[in-house]
Structure 1
């Protein structure tokens, strides 16, 4: 009987995106515009344009690392903030084997028997952590209540994880965050619904080494380099021996390809416990292999000659979580968004569309307000969109609040892919903005985007393409590396969320508006 594992939805290289310089709302004009103003041939003014915000839930995002080569961060755990969607994040991964895997390393005579005793088997999950001056670690990249546990179960996946698209092997495969996997019904973890709590003090563990009789003959202390803290989940020793060690000398371990067909990976299934727990970001691409998540198998070989023990050999095999990996985001809607607000949440949470120039009442394909502004022949000096945080809801929380948001063109209604705004291209991105700005009291306040080139091209008539702009939680994959890298992928492993004030007049000066500074020729 198969157990169906289904997760349906409604990534920042890590959570710790650094808050860079805040973009001011009152920057100087460019040199060319300043010279025009100095010649007194132009007058300079600014205007505020009303916009319309539409909150938009996200069904799923791409959650594999196949095309990227390696997806940096994977989320595990449960986070439930009542203002946003609850996230239960799970991980699917293949395992990496080694050609050196052998239970017994040498040949013995006919009078010699080797008995293998499993000492311990566990899932190792190294944390991202910062070493403090007192020699202790502080865990990074975690949101939620780290004192509360989430449920964790580990299953053997039976769905083949193919790198290439089965329907078209000439292209790479893709896995969404709401993909469906089949698993065997029996958990691999020794304790069902394992209560997982991340702890910075988990820097070592003791492995009891056992003889063939089951008696302990030695103990090993296991630490990672620099005593980095790591989580561990005990697994069923006898079951893992049967699935893995007992198959070493078979065709199932003849190659990585053969193994991937025999053992198709594991599913780390997280769910909410009795109380809301925490959500942890794990890195699968660290500099040291031992810092990568893995299944660790410790065992002892007792060598018997004519039934008498003459030697004990300690062994450890490591199965790194490697190959095709995918994140699963199970999103559950909580309380509705309060009137006058809209929420932005990463992963498969919530985006928002921003309509800038109102309706097209005459049906000529151009918004009426855009046509009116074009007729004015303004020279656009600066254009800014500012989104204000609902401080009554967010308060002083800078941990679960995104450090950066991202803005892009959404051509979905026209059948076009999501694309970068011109101002976000590498040569102009330094001033693009979107970084969280704080008040003097260190309270989250606002996000400001400068979209000067985008607005200038529209109002000058250089382009008529003006789809809604979409606001989302920023992900490292959003930012281009070249001028031709203009398509926005849906990857997002940043689970943070923020409540923002929308365009309604009841929000006063903190409502969303487009501020345009411009110059126009002086009339004699």
Structure 2
């Protein structure tokens, strides 16, 4: 998610972030810096090599946030994101006597911000996490899911958690109901849009339409009443006894997305806060819980919680496919293609043995060390730019020490925390992304002065810098002697990517990936 205030702030900081890159580099200790940032420090440009690696299909079940829609990135290609989720009864084992359904609707809120209220009390909102053309339409179909989403893997032998992958849509597509449940007006299915409008549900009293409920912007769909009458209200009581039984009986909903023409829009609905509300009329119960002859209005709520999977259907561009298939793990690539979802990452080696020996010999005190990545602005001219990248220990699948000790935070916008460690997009004067700088001072210092292992690093885009858990790769790959079996979850949940200049010698010096070390020497 982005914020205009932080965009302005990051632009202002860009000058400071990248000012130190405009010097000539010479031998160790010969370049003395006397600027406002690195007063009287020495600077050394160390060896760094980086190359592309495709992730392939990624584990995509029970993600903290999910995508829905179509996005056609001019660099990477088209992604169609669909979703399946279990349902859970808000209150299990309801007493049903002669229930007759009145209405049933689904509501999933979007990420939105309140803007204003007019004189009639109508609220205005702006949407966040909506990408592409916000006015674009998609074909949205909601079906009953008939494929059981397991919690544990029966084939693991040790009750390990079940893993489902981003390319396994056929599991659900081939095991779904045939009835489209959102079968109302076209705006709720064949011409669906992610609207920023406030939602009002009405009822009629004495011939007058009145507001029954008001919702913040979200997906609001009336669902097929006959289906839910049969599936829920007419269900055998044992099927609604508890949510374990219910998950087997009603296996959830499948949100299928199809593109309309060349229209594209993708959102990150807050599925974890979604619910289905079933309004019905039934016999009133007396104080002993027995039905009477009177009737009353009642409600059953189904929460969109339980196991879920986000599916990604990717149609990659030829340029992206070629770059990934022709990576140069020896000399490093000219361009680094970093894409979230089922996409790509960069594998990075820092410090040659010659660098390490030289810095140790000089007994330097490392004051600051940064990896600086420049955006290929021509390649990214018409593409959405990720706000942040995440650098991590590829071998041990964990954050770097610099990340762990960075306690900077932002309570209003938590995703902008850890800003000393960095990785935030800095902007050029034209308002487009200039590059990313990641501070790895302690990581480099531990290699030089504490004899820590110089592990390979991974670079990915991140949807949330605070999420450091990992998702499995369906097909692991090898980077040198390191077998890569996982990728950060925060990359899986990010729908976009960026193209960065790499470390290959063919890249112009002023654009090339750099590892610059600022240090002082003992007297």
Question: TM-score, structure 1 length as denominator?
Answer: 0.73
Q: Distance in 2 between matches of 1:275 and 1:131?
A: 31
Partner of 1:347: 341
**Distance of 1:380 and 1:199 partners within structure 2:** 52
CA 1:57–1:195: 2 relative to 1, 3 Å:
farther
Kept after mapping to 2: 8 A contact 1:16/1:141: no
In the alignment, the residues of structure 1 paired with residue 207 and residue 102 of structure 2 have an alpha-carbon distance, to the nearest angstrom, of 11
Change (3 A) 1:343 1:223: farther
Contact 1:151 1:272 in 2 (8 A): yes
Is structure 2 residue 505 aligned with structure 1 residue 508?
no
Task: Confirm whether residue 74 of structure 1 aligns to residue 53 of structure 2.
Answer: no
The number of residue pairs the alignment matches comes to 440
Structure 2 residue 187 is matched with structure 1 residue 201: no
Aligned to 1:122, which of 82, 98, 105? 105
Seen in structure 2, the aligned counterparts of structure 1 residues 345 and 141 have a Cα distance that, compared at 3 Å, is: same
Report SS of the residue matched to 1:518. strand
Contact 1:15 1:281 in 2 (8 A): no
Q: 1:47 aligns with which of 13, 25, 44?
A: 44
Aligned ranges 1:310-459 → 2 under 5 Å? 313-337=296-320, 340-357=334-351, 367-395=353-381, 400-411=384-395, 417-427=396-406, 431-459=420-448
Contact kept? 1:388, 1:501, Cα under 8 Å: yes
Once the two structures are superposed, residues 110-166 of structure 1 have per-residue CA deviations (whole angstroms, 9 ceiling, x without a partner) of: xxxx683x4443332222211113541111111111221122222222222233333
CA distance in 1, matches of 2:495, 2:258: 15
- Taking the aligned partners of 1:403 and 1:454, their CA distance within structure 2 comes to 23
- Shift in Å, 1:480: 6.2
2: CA distance, partners of 1:202 / 1:275: 27
Which of 246, 255, 259 is the equivalent residue of 1:259?
A: 246
Residue in 2 that maps onto 1:8: none
Assess if the C-alpha contact under 8 Å between 1:147 and 1:277 holds in 2: no
Instruction: Classify the secondary structure of the residue corresponding to 1:516.
Output: strand
- In structure 2, the partner of 1:495 is 495
Structure 1 residues 82 and 376, CA, compared in 2 at 3 Å: closer, same or farther? same
In the TM superposition, what is the alpha-carbon distance from 1:440 to its structure 2 partner?
A: 4.1
Question: How big is each residue's C-alpha offset from its partner over 1:245-284, in whole Å with a ceiling of 9 and x where there is no partner?
Answer: 211x421112211111111112212232222321111224
| 1:260-279 superposed matches below 5 A | 260-279=247-266
Correspondence for 2:25: none
Contact 1:340–1:507 (Cα < 8 Å) also in 2? no
Aligned to 1:188: 180
Structure 1 or 2, whichever has the larger Rg, is 1
8 Å Cα contact 1:501/1:507 also seen in 2: no
Structure 1 distance, partners of 2:57, 2:46, is 33
Cα deviations by residue, 1:34-62 (Å, 9 ceiling, x for unpaired): xxx99xxxx84212235322122222334
* Residue among 56, 79, 83 paired with 1:87: 79
Verify the 8 A CA contact 2:182 2:224 in the aligned structure 1: yes
- State the match for 2:457 in structure 1: 469
In the TM superposition, what are the counterparts of 1:298-317 in structure 2 within 5 Å?
A: 298-300=279-281, 313-317=296-300
Q: In the TM superposition, what whole-angstrom CA distance separates every residue of 1:404-459 from its partner, at most 9, and x where no partner exists?
A: 11101212xxxxx3222221113575521111112344332111011111112223
Separation in 2 of the partners of 1:218 and 1:253? 37
- Supply the distance in 2 between the matched residues of 1:281 and 1:434 (Cα, whole angstroms): 22
- TM-score under structure 2 length normalisation: 0.73
Aligned-partner Cα distance in 1 for 2:363–2:47:
20
Q: 1:221 aligns with which of 204, 211, 216?
A: 211
Secondary structure, aligned partner of 1:239: helix
Extract unaligned runs of 5+ from structure 1. Answer: 1-13, 28-36, 66-70, 105-113, 210-215, 286-291, 304-309, 359-366, 412-416, 482-486
* Secondary structure of the structure 2 residue equivalent to 1:164: coil
Alignment of 1:55-204 (within 5 A): 55-65=52-62, 71-97=63-89, 98-99=91-92, 101-104=94-97, 116=100, 118-133=101-116, 135-166=123-154, 167-168=156-157, 170-180=159-169, 181-182=171-172, 183-191=175-183, 194-204=190-200
